[in-house]
């Protein structure tokens, strides 16, 4: 730590994305002083960084927006069913201005260390620039997909052309015109940008390691009639979302895919294909519980994907196989597959011929050499734990979070970690997180924590910490519930498979937004069972 004098606040919130700003608004409203530390040069979180062409949300705009202010809901006008990145960023900026949030956001302040001081019962926080804060509470609102992953490919320094990562996209426009572009990665980011880049580039080579499932985005402009209709019934819509497993408002079918006749199934899947976007995974209740049920959906989707691709050899490579549909995060796409019918697009199968390295002229695989002017990494993130483990967070007894989580994340309800008093995590591992509408899950956490702070104030308590036994029970429960599903069987970032050497643990809670909310409510009703409270060390000594 440096000698700089620490600014004292009630709460340090790390991250000025949707979660950090909501924390600020809510906690400030409770009369608490809050400092939001943001690594970037402006607010917005993932929507600030991910400005690659085609970036948009695949949760409907009306649901991927704050629910805390009815006035805000009524005055903001979304233009599309699934909003683009620039529109979402405009929304976040609008919210920040409307609720006067900027004055407590500190930009260019990447937190590098946070240390629990057992003498004072405060978090001592240090940022990259040497600034210090001292806070009673530390709230990690660092997002689930915010630490970018750049594969270590030998020779990168030799490539003279442009290199980008979708998650750290430049602010200046990137010109693809006439260039030979290579995109590595075919997850949601790759699938979104590939059709657009193909229209501009001289030639586009897509380096695909795993063909993933994708369903049509079914995007549309929102008419005034539709907007009025949603706004007239917004509370019902929010309530439906809160009471649905995914937080998207879809009520999963109560029927098994295996109980429907093949004709009924096809009719239902055709409907889901054209209307449900991401909700396809809920077309039958057992799609993620029974391999045979899942096979019926996977076969249908493969057939639909196949119909879009002309060349049989390319088609074969683009068909996802070897893992259940939706057990690895599927994409929703707009014209991704027909892009491979274009003369200026090549698919390079890097499962068959892995990338050997980057050269002075482009990418060398074990099968061929590709001459490129630009390389785009659409290779994703160190998901869920990346941004929590990047800073050094030191709890009681000098234990770091990295040490505590060396075999995978352990939490009580995803909210707190034993040994790290007064620290909270928003929509991270151990909570529905990436298996839900993250914005709704974020608001749920913020509200729950604010209620907990009320409880502490009313009862003159200073310190709250997850009980060790409760944490063990919750981790076991998260794991048991996951084992009832097909999720653990797919190689995915839910399991930590995206980073070589990362512990293989299923991280999000599969029990659903509604089920999880009931658990949170029950914990409160039971007097915050699983959490231990105390007075600050300083105060206890003074009182003695």
Q: Please give the residue ranges that form the binding site for ligand NAP (CB under 6 A).
A: 56-58, 145, 151, 166, 184-190, 192, 209-210, 329, 350, 378-381, 434, 493, 498
CB of 379 or CB of 416, closer to ligand NAP: 379
The distance of closest approach from Cβ of residue 356 to ligand NAP in the complex, given in angstroms and rounded to an integer, is 12
Residue 244 corresponds to which tokens in the numbers above? 């649905």
The distance of closest approach from Cβ of residue 50 to ligand NAP in the complex, given in angstroms and rounded to an integer, is 7
The distance of closest approach from Cβ of residue 46 to ligand NAP in the complex, given in angstroms and rounded to an integer, is 8
CB of 386 or CB of 391, closer to ligand NAP: 386
CB of 112 or CB of 210, closer to ligand NAP: 210
CB of 439 or CB of 482, closer to ligand NAP: 439
Contacts of 420 (CB under 8 A, 6+ apart): 116, 393, 395, 396, 401, 404, 465, 466
Quick check: helix, strand or coil at residue 466? strand
Quick check: helix, strand or coil at residue 322? coil
Q: How far apart (Å, rounded) are the C-alpha atoms in residues 204 and 374? A: 10
Q: How far apart (Å, rounded) are the C-alpha atoms in residues 235 and 253? A: 23
DSSP bridge pairs for 138: 12, 423
Three-state SS sequence of 470-533: HHHHHHHHHHHHHHCCCHHHCCCCCCCCCCCCCCCCCCCCCCCHHHHHHHHHHHHHCCCCCEEE
CB of 206 or CB of 520, closer to ligand NAP: 206
CB of 186 or CB of 416, closer to ligand NAP: 186
Give me the residue whose beta carbon is nearest to ligand NAP: 187
Phi then psi for residue 214, to 5 deg, are: -150, 145
Q: How far apart (Å, rounded) are the C-alpha atoms in residues 252 and 440? A: 18
Q: How far apart (Å, rounded) are the C-alpha atoms in residues 370 and 268? A: 43
Cβ 517 vs Cβ 420: under 8 Å = no
The distance of closest approach from Cβ of residue 212 to ligand NAP in the complex, given in angstroms and rounded to an integer, is 6
The distance of closest approach from Cβ of residue 242 to ligand NAP in the complex, given in angstroms and rounded to an integer, is 20
Residue 462 corresponds to which tokens in the numbers above? 């200073």
The distance of closest approach from Cβ of residue 328 to ligand NAP in the complex, given in angstroms and rounded to an integer, is 7
At how many degrees (to 10) do helices 224-232 and 234-242 cross?
A: 70
Q: How far apart (Å, rounded) are the C-alpha atoms in residues 50 and 169? A: 6
Select from 480, 204, 485 the least CA-distant residue to 339: 204
CB of 57 or CB of 456, closer to ligand NAP: 57
The distance of closest approach from Cβ of residue 384 to ligand NAP in the complex, given in angstroms and rounded to an integer, is 11
Phi then psi for residue 324, to 5 deg, are: -70, 150
CB of 422 or CB of 495, closer to ligand NAP: 495
DSSP bridge pairs for 32: none
Q: How far apart (Å, rounded) are the C-alpha atoms in residues 95 and 247? A: 22
Q: How many CA atoms, within 13 angstroms, populate the side-chain half-sphere of residue 282?
A: 19
Q: How many CA atoms, within 13 angstroms, populate the side-chain half-sphere of residue 226?
A: 12
The distance of closest approach from Cβ of residue 464 to ligand NAP in the complex, given in angstroms and rounded to an integer, is 31
CB of 11 or CB of 88, closer to ligand NAP: 88
> 151-160: b or e for each residue (b if 16 or more CB lie within 10 Å)?
eebeeeeebe
The distance of closest approach from Cβ of residue 329 to ligand NAP in the complex, given in angstroms and rounded to an integer, is 4
CB of 28 or CB of 329, closer to ligand NAP: 329
The distance of closest approach from Cβ of residue 75 to ligand NAP in the complex, given in angstroms and rounded to an integer, is 24
Q: How far apart (Å, rounded) are the C-alpha atoms in residues 485 and 388? A: 27
DSSP bridge pairs for 218: none
CB of 64 or CB of 116, closer to ligand NAP: 64
Quick check: helix, strand or coil at residue 127? strand
Q: How many CA atoms, within 13 angstroms, populate the side-chain half-sphere of residue 340?
A: 26
CB of 130 or CB of 151, closer to ligand NAP: 151
The distance of closest approach from Cβ of residue 437 to ligand NAP in the complex, given in angstroms and rounded to an integer, is 11
The distance of closest approach from Cβ of residue 155 to ligand NAP in the complex, given in angstroms and rounded to an integer, is 14
CB of 102 or CB of 353, closer to ligand NAP: 353
Three-state SS sequence of 25-38: HHHHHCCCCEEEEC
The distance of closest approach from Cβ of residue 22 to ligand NAP in the complex, given in angstroms and rounded to an integer, is 19
Q: How far apart (Å, rounded) are the C-alpha atoms in residues 397 and 404? A: 12
Quick check: helix, strand or coil at residue 389? helix
The distance of closest approach from Cβ of residue 490 to ligand NAP in the complex, given in angstroms and rounded to an integer, is 10
CB of 209 or CB of 268, closer to ligand NAP: 209
Residue 42 corresponds to which tokens in the numbers above? 């402006």
Select from 268, 237, 264, 233 the least CA-distant residue to 252: 268
């Amino acid at each position: 730590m440096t000698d700089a004098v620490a600014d004292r606040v009630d709460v340090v919130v790390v991250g000025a994305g949707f979660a950090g700003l909501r924390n600020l608004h809510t906690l400030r409203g409770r009369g608490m002083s809050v400092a939001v530390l943001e690594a970037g040069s402006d607010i917005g979180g993932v929507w600030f960084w991910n400005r690659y062409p085609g970036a948009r949300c695949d949760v409907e705009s009306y649901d991927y927006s704050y629910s805390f202010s009815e006035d805000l809901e009524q005055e903001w006008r979304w233009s599309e069913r699934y909003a683009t990145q620039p529109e979402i960023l405009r929304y976040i900026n609008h919210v920040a201005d409307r609720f006067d949030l900027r004055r407590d956001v500190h930009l260019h302040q990447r937190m590098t260390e946070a240390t629990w001081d057992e003498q004072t019962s405060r978090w001592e926080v240090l940022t990259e620039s040497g600034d210090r804060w001292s806070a009673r509470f530390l709230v990690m609102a660092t997002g689930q997909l915010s630490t970018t992953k750049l594969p270590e490919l030998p020779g990168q320094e030799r490539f003279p052309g442009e290199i980008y990562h979708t998650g750290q996209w430049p602010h200046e426009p990137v010109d693809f015109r006439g260039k030979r572009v290579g995109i590595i990665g075919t997850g949601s980011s790759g699938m979104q940008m590939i059709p657009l880049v193909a229209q501009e580039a001289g030639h586009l080579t897509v380096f695909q390691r795993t063909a993933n499932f994708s369903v049509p985005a079914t995007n549309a402009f929102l008419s005034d009639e539709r907007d009025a209709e949603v706004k007239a019934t917004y509370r019902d819509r929010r309530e439906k979302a809160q009471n649905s497993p995914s937080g998207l408002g879809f009520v999963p079918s109560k029927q098994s895919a295996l109980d429907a006749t093949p004709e009924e199934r096809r009719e239902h899947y055709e409907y889901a294909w054209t209307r449900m976007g991401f909700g396809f995974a809920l077309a039958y209740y057992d799609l993620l519980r029974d391999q045979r049920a899942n096979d019926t959906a996977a076969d249908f989707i493969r057939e639909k994907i196949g119909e879009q691709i002309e060349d049989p050899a390319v088609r074969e490579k683009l068909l996802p196989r070897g893992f259940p549909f939706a057990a690895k995060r599927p994409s929703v796409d707009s014209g991704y597959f027909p892009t491979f019918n274009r003369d200026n697009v090549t698919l390079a199968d890097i499962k068959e011929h892995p990338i050997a390295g980057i050269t002075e002229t482009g990418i060398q695989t074990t099968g061929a050499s590709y001459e490129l002017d630009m390389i785009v990494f659409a290779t994703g993130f160190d998901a869920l734990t990346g941004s929590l483990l990047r800073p050094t967070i030191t709890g009681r007894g000098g234990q770091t979070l990295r040490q505590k989580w060396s075999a995978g994340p352990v939490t009580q309800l995803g909210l707190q970690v034993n040994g790290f008093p007064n620290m909270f995590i928003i929509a991270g591992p151990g909570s529905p997180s990436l298996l839900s509408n993250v914005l709704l899950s974020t608001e749920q956490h913020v509200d729950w924590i604010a209620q907990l702070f009320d409880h502490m104030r009313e009862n003159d308590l200073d310190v709250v910490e997850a009980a060790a036994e409760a944490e063990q029970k919750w981790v076991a429960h998260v794991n048991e519930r996951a084992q009832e599903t097909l999720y653990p069987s797919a190689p995915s970032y839910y399991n930590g498979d995206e980073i070589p050497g990362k512990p293989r643990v299923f991280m999000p809670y599969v029990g659903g937004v509604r089920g999880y909310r009931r658990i949170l409510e029950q914990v409160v009703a039971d007097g915050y069972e699983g959490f231990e409270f105390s007075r600050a060390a300083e105060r206890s000594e003074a009182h003695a």
